[in-house]
């Protein structure tokens, strides 16, 4: 069967004017990306402020370990936020 000379089996299922990956499913990705990016940025700013004032980042833990762990966590949350925004 054909419709206007095009086989129905080879027709695209995409609706003209609507791109794939937009619409209702982009809302949760935007929210998650914003939450991850804001948390990662805030954690990095807080860690940087604690380090600049020579205050402990975590009590009871060696300074090098706590700074490294907080920085890696902040960067990973930023990367996760950027990845979520890239999925939109």
Q: State residue 88's pLDDT score.
A: 80
Q: State residue 26's pLDDT score.
A: 83
| Residue 46, domain member (yes or no) | yes
| Residue 35, domain member (yes or no) | yes
Nearest partner of 33 among 86, 74, 71, judged by Cα: 86
pLDDT 10s digits, 24-37: 678 888 999 999 99
| Residue 83, domain member (yes or no) | yes
Q: State residue 10's pLDDT score.
A: 52
As beta bridge partners, residue 2 has: 7
pLDDT 10s digits, 49-83: 999 999 999 999 999 999 999 999 999 999 999 99
| Residue 1, domain member (yes or no) | no
State how far the Cα of 28 lies from the Cα of 86, in Å rounded to an integer.
Answer: 13
State how far the Cα of 41 lies from the Cα of 60, in Å rounded to an integer.
Answer: 24
**Chain center to CA of 78:** 7
Structural domain boundaries, residue 67: 25-54+62-88
| Residue 12, domain member (yes or no) | no
Please tell me the pTM assigned to this model.
0.69
Nearest partner of 88 among 20, 18, 40, judged by Cα: 20
Structural domains counted in the chain: 1
| Residue 10, domain member (yes or no) | no
| Residue 88, domain member (yes or no) | yes
């Amino acid at each position: 069967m054909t419709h206007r000379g095009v086989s129905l089996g080879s027709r695209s299922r995409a609706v003209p004017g609507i791109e794939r990956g937009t619409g209702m499913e982009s809302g949760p990705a935007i929210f998650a990306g914003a939450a991850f990016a804001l948390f990662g940025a805030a954690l990095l700013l807080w860690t940087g402020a604690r380090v600049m004032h020579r205050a402990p980042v975590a009590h009871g833990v060696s300074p090098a370990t706590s700074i490294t762990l907080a920085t890696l966590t902040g960067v990973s949350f930023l990367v996760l936020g950027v990845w979520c925004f890239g999925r939109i």
